[in-house]
Structure 1
């Protein structure tokens, strides 16, 4: 192992090889997620305690089938492993292969091995190997390959301790290249080695193969390599085909005698049998629909009790603080601004946790890949790339990583269409808005003993977002007139029982991210909003009591009614109220008042802020601190009608508006970054805002 204080260990493997499960076992909750330098690709790193005194930094590199990249994600692998000056260059590479697809998975291993980095081969999914009748002699295979070979069941954590011990030991590493790169292009490779002071033939060979897309090279270095390619007649495509054939020939030699197939004892292929059902052209969609139905029913049914408990806890906290702390501006800021604002987001932790738990289970079991396969058949009819399914499904969680995921789409026009329509998918940030508005306008009763109306309404909004996305994609296909088409190429993993530890980590991490990322915005906006809602220009606020007493001198009002009128007058004449009144004429056709208008503007920072804003606005001057935000919104009166503000018409209009409106300014920022200009983000904002306004207007008038 390296003499570094904390050595770097890179995890590399094919997609669906179990790399993420191994990363979770090695690092637990000691994970950090950021971006690789210069690109919008997720970088997952974590600290692993190899024993009581030694630890290592684990780097989870993007999944790839080959060292030759087809996307930005895959290009990261060679950029890091092929450049010793890269700060992320590892001391050891751990290659994880799906042992049940042994031969195909070994191609990547042979390429990485030739980079001349100490390597450990992990044979994952050995439980599946045992069931399929394959027999792998890992000791003999280790002798053939010249690297440690460790059998593992990563989802259950079996073999992880053996891997840690192996990483602690100094490996007896005798390098012998699998592919003799220099024999195919000796002069060109020698020239590169001399030019860049490289010792490894295969690294020099790959620089000739990938110099045009190698981000670590300067423009001048790329030009020099281009000259070398032309001078020495280095035929990249021909040599790549030759390399692949040579590697598979070597793989056949390696596994001869190490891997045996006993076809007489092969059990029934349960994965294939299940796929006949789950990917059926009719039943597959029915099952997927039923699973979605279960998820949205559960979001309401299972989360109701903890949500009510959290809501009541924050209300009682505000009451306790107002009674305990001395009266003053800071106490009012805390009880009327910060506590209600943060409470308005924390209340949705149960629903967010349930949503991501289901998503994690679907991914862990292997079913999510079937969903991608199923939906690909629909996507292609609307001009989308088969790979567009992944960003669209990811958009249910968050549009930002979903839009970043479009970089796997090689065709620029198809990628652009996917980026353009992905924000129409209802993300988790919309969930708080949906649930609180649905609770106000949809009765909490069941059609049958298990079908809750509120769950049906929630599922309908998610399906509406998907419908809007594919219809918008179809129109864009006509406008952009994209003739190129790509097809989805992916491997369907075998079905597995979910690893509950991984599900738990996903729930915890996603909920924590949701709360802290949204919480920072809500905390800041709650303070600013409270200030703007508590103060106004001139002496309007000071004269509030005088004005109201004059207006109501002939009315018989209780002390509470008089207090409410005074506080309402103050709010209307505050800076926030004046701003809300200014934009009210534009939103009144949708059934909204100035208070809702303020929330529409503030929620552009993050959709979750809508609930926090309403919690803050309805808490200003409120004497009954124990009332929950839902109760306050339900009690709100429309002065024009004398009835509830949140009627079926207004609530439905708001739901439709948020289903179609641009999610947040962060989404616009990531679209700008991915498209490298403001043209498409601005068009996207105008299109989605116009669509949201028009549909909300139609909805309000239908239900009025």
Structure 2
């Protein structure tokens, strides 16, 4: 049987409410691995991909994943992105819209379907989460819904791939099936419009009414002719008309639900179970305590489970360095490989197991729906200090990386509230800080000491994350009451039902995120390491003994790197570092970390690699633990390590974050304020911790 001829390329937009599985469906259709989460606000910009060959499409299909939106009257930047794509304001509109709806929440999802029917673009409904609807006791008759709406309706379960093949086949039949929304559109367009607006295309006129009545940013796409038509309509009439249009859409939703016999008023058993669990997990007191215990267990497992593999990686790095030295012999190139590449990058790779475990546990908590409950708990506190309820989702993303978290603020409608959230995000302890924390904790704190069932190390790590979260909230409250004062918006947060995590997807996400970290180690960190190696190696100190020459007396140096450019700069800033308990070696590493926080670890690896004897290939953690000052006392203490970790909690040491803030705020004012204020606060807090600790006798 010969293959069907390939027709013209199709451009398909995936639209839908937040948290209905659009990104899961996009990943299945295209073979991508974009982040998904069991909470709203994960997707904030468009993504494109071709339908994968395994679905056997009969024509070329490009799929665009849009941010979630509840209606076509956008009230935030992410909804505006979806709006502009569907309307074709910034390019050709999609040939076909696939509206992804949550089968277990059909009544809420169909309002957007009615607006898309008004829009008049070819439409297919992907009735997603059919398994959840069946489990909840609210199964949906897809064929009956298709008759009620006049569009194809395909049942799917995006998490497992069920129904995707049929959906792709329906997409590829575009233009061949005479589905007609005329009956539904006729009822939706039944509400008469004023004369000036009646002359415009019906869908466009109704959007203008809604946009003008709610004064949202959606009106920015209106033409001069459309604005003139609106100007002739009384404001009160516009508001009444907008309300009538909304009532008409909901009436059509009710009609469609009644036509398919949908029992939308009954409470789903799955949500009943979730509600019973939530009585404990979202309790004002017990909920927060349980959340802290969960986080403590998470960090405890990170230390306990990752330690053996970290030891293996450290041993492998030491072995590799020894082999290179033995094979190449002494020389500048050998020093570059052993002291620069292997010691620098290798000491960052040591922390891959812990980073992978952190991503794994957070991914599982997200997939089950528990992180949405954590958002609810913190949202309650955020609302009390005047912060936007939607801010916690990007703040939560900040635990992984500040850059996508800042992009995630596009879900916030108010620019001032969005800016407050952007200024808070760098305080969240991202995964790049984890190697810094773990290095200092494992090197300077007693790994065997326990407090109840938890190790001292895990509790110190938990304390850094708690400190970062509390500090972010405090800073947000200050901005909200000073530079960015604005009313506190209402808290609206949708709690999804609890679900069993799909382990395969979570593991793929862990692999991708960990691979990104390793890729950074092999590119950005490697490049920085080579540059820093040169700065720490040249000029070299004068040799005390030369072959054939008498012994020359040379002024003793505390370290061979002191004579280098990097070492001289470290000694220059050492007086400013002493009050926070750090020496010039730490100063060099802190300065290097302004490019990326992980560079702190690689720079220390360079410093101690250059200072070490040729036969000494000890791990960096051991080198820090055993380092001695000139008077024979330990060079670093738990107190100095704690002060340095506090510095990294507050310091904005990531150039990429500042660049993204500049792009999102369209000004250098805010990234400069962020950098200066956070650096000053970090220094003051680190000095305070160290000096108070000394006064207390630590």
The CA RMSD measured in Å over matched residues stands at 3.2
Is 2:608 aligned against 1:618?
A: yes
Using a 3 Å threshold, how does the CA distance of structure 1 residues 208 and 239 change in structure 2: closer, same or farther?
closer
Task: Give the match for residue 421 of structure 1.
Answer: 424
Which one of the candidate residues 492, 507, 512 is aligned to 1:489? 492
Give the whole-Å Cα distance in 1 for the aligned partners of 2:89 and 2:394.
33
Give the whole-Å Cα distance in 2 for the aligned partners of 1:84 and 1:686.
39
Residues 597-621 of structure 1, C-alpha deviations (whole Å, 9 max, x = no match): 1111110111111001111222226
Using a 3 Å threshold, how does the CA distance of structure 1 residues 620 and 370 change in structure 2: closer, same or farther?
same
1:134-283 to structure 2, matched below 5 A, reads: 134-170=138-174, 171-172=176-177, 173-176=179-182, 178=185, 180-181=188-189, 184-185=192-193, 188=196, 192=200, 201-203=202-204, 205-206=206-207, 210=211, 213=217, 217=221, 222-231=223-232, 236-261=238-263, 267=269, 269-283=272-286
Shift of 1:288: 1.2
Give the whole-Å Cα distance in 2 for the aligned partners of 1:205 and 1:578.
68
Residues 16-59 of structure 1, C-alpha deviations (whole Å, 9 max, x = no match): 212222223223346699xxxxxx95333333325346553332
Question: Does the CA contact (< 8 Å) of 2:15 and 2:100 recur in 1?
Answer: yes
Using a 3 Å threshold, how does the CA distance of structure 1 residues 233 and 215 change in structure 2: closer, same or farther?
closer
Question: Does the CA contact (< 8 Å) of 1:518 and 1:606 recur in 2?
Answer: no
Shift of 1:359: 2.0
Using a 3 Å threshold, how does the CA distance of structure 1 residues 6 and 549 change in structure 2: closer, same or farther?
farther
Structure 2 SS opposite 1:642: coil
Give the whole-Å Cα distance in 1 for the aligned partners of 2:437 and 2:524.
20
Which one of the candidate residues 670, 674, 677 is aligned to 2:667? 677
1:146-545 to structure 2, matched below 5 A, reads: 146-170=150-174, 171-172=176-177, 173-176=179-182, 178=185, 180-181=188-189, 184-185=192-193, 188=196, 192=200, 201-203=202-204, 205-206=206-207, 210=211, 213=217, 217=221, 222-231=223-232, 236-261=238-263, 267=269, 269-325=272-328, 328-447=331-450, 450-480=453-483, 482=485, 484-517=487-520, 519-536=522-539, 541-543=541-543, 545=545
Task: Give the match for residue 39 of structure 2.
Answer: none
Using a 3 Å threshold, how does the CA distance of structure 1 residues 383 and 141 change in structure 2: closer, same or farther?
closer
Using a 3 Å threshold, how does the CA distance of structure 1 residues 468 and 324 change in structure 2: closer, same or farther?
same
Structure 2 SS opposite 1:507: helix
Question: Does the CA contact (< 8 Å) of 1:635 and 1:644 recur in 2?
Answer: yes
Task: Give the match for residue 606 of structure 1.
Answer: 596
Is 2:114 aligned against 1:106?
A: no
Residues 650-704 of structure 1, C-alpha deviations (whole Å, 9 max, x = no match): 2122111111212322222333333333333333323222221122112222145
Give the whole-Å Cα distance in 2 for the aligned partners of 1:189 and 1:277.
53
Question: Does the CA contact (< 8 Å) of 2:46 and 2:81 recur in 1?
Answer: no
Using a 3 Å threshold, how does the CA distance of structure 1 residues 330 and 543 change in structure 2: closer, same or farther?
closer
Give the whole-Å Cα distance in 2 for the aligned partners of 1:305 and 1:482.
50
Structure 2 gap ranges (5+): 37-42
Shift of 1:264: 10
Give the whole-Å Cα distance in 1 for the aligned partners of 2:261 and 2:553.
92
Which one of the candidate residues 62, 65, 69 is aligned to 1:57? 62
Using a 3 Å threshold, how does the CA distance of structure 1 residues 450 and 624 change in structure 2: closer, same or farther?
farther
Shift of 1:358: 2.0
Q: TM-score, normalised by structure 2?
A: 0.88
1:82-121 to structure 2, matched below 5 A, reads: 82-83=87-88, 86=91, 89-121=93-125
Question: Does the CA contact (< 8 Å) of 2:44 and 2:411 recur in 1?
Answer: no
Residues 339-385 of structure 1, C-alpha deviations (whole Å, 9 max, x = no match): 22222322222222221222222221122221121112211222222
Shift of 1:181: 4.3
Shift of 1:270: 0.8
Using a 3 Å threshold, how does the CA distance of structure 1 residues 298 and 24 change in structure 2: closer, same or farther?
farther
Give the whole-Å Cα distance in 2 for the aligned partners of 1:254 and 1:96.
17
Q: TM-score, normalised by structure 1?
A: 0.87
Give the whole-Å Cα distance in 2 for the aligned partners of 1:506 and 1:28.
13
Structure 1 SS opposite 2:659: helix
Give the whole-Å Cα distance in 1 for the aligned partners of 2:483 and 2:544.
58
Give the whole-Å Cα distance in 2 for the aligned partners of 1:377 and 1:548.
76
Using a 3 Å threshold, how does the CA distance of structure 1 residues 247 and 618 change in structure 2: closer, same or farther?
same
Shift of 1:457: 0.7
Using a 3 Å threshold, how does the CA distance of structure 1 residues 381 and 253 change in structure 2: closer, same or farther?
closer
Question: Does the CA contact (< 8 Å) of 2:303 and 2:354 recur in 1?
Answer: yes
Using a 3 Å threshold, how does the CA distance of structure 1 residues 191 and 441 change in structure 2: closer, same or farther?
same
Structure 2 SS opposite 1:627: coil
Residues 242-298 of structure 1, C-alpha deviations (whole Å, 9 max, x = no match): 222111111222222313439999757211211212112222112211111111112
Using a 3 Å threshold, how does the CA distance of structure 1 residues 223 and 318 change in structure 2: closer, same or farther?
farther
Give the whole-Å Cα distance in 2 for the aligned partners of 1:69 and 1:448.
51
1:513-592 to structure 2, matched below 5 A, reads: 513-517=516-520, 519-536=522-539, 541-543=541-543, 545=545, 550-551=552-553, 570-592=560-582
Give the whole-Å Cα distance in 2 for the aligned partners of 1:175 and 1:266.
30
Structure 2 SS opposite 1:229: helix
Task: Give the match for residue 81 of structure 1.
Answer: 86
Give the whole-Å Cα distance in 1 for the aligned partners of 2:416 and 2:264.
48
Task: Give the match for residue 628 of structure 2.
Answer: 637
Structure 2 SS opposite 1:256: helix
Aligned residues: 671
